[in-house]
Amino acid sequence: MERGDGYDQVLSLWSIQESLLQAYRSIFITAESIVFGIAAAISTLNPPSAIVLTLLGFFLLWMWHRVCSNRAEDVSFVQWLLARAEEGNSVPAPLGSLKQFQDGAIITIGTRSVWRHKEKDPDGNFIDEPFVNMLKSPTRRWMEVYLPLFFAGLWVVVTYLAIKALQGAI
């Protein structure tokens, strides 16, 4: 099957978006690890500081979720564009389509449509199923759900140790 127009541009755009996603994940994992390491080390020596670092850690987790889940959805959208181009559909202005997708617009290529907010659009149309499946990647679940939950559990332990240390100091 002949690739549609715009395939090379979409492939390049996907590479950039995927690299950004991996960089963001690395930044947040590193930041969480450093802040957690410091908080764990001082949890019994300086409990108030450990509790403040715990608040920072939970804020970083919230940021991690917001930034990485949005970027991962962008990556899936560009993968969806790539799949449409591989089917032979023309994909005009891939970057413009990505920006419109990010703004919540409905993007239609061939007979398939997607938009940023899942389920139905205001007219009652359903989102393209292959796109929904792309959003359910096992790697995404590990990086955006399980790993942050693991860090949240670690923060609960640090908080517990800091509170216990504070109670022992009273």
Q: pLDDT, tens digit, for every residue of 27-36?
A: 999 999 999 9
pTM: predicted TM-score of the whole model, two decimal places: 0.87
Q: How confident is the model at residue 111 (pLDDT cuts 50, 70, 90)?
A: confident
Average pLDDT of the segment spanning 13-19 = 96
CA distance 26 to 31: 8
Cα 95 to Cα 138: distance, rounded to the nearest angstrom: 27
CA distances from 66 to 30, 69, 72, 117 (A): 17, 6, 10, 14
Best CA proximity match to 5, nearest among 130, 94, 100: 94
Distance separating alpha carbons of residues 119 and 144, to the nearest angstrom: 20
128 — pLDDT class (breaks 50, 70, 90): confident
Residues 6+ away with beta carbon under 8 Å from 69: 144
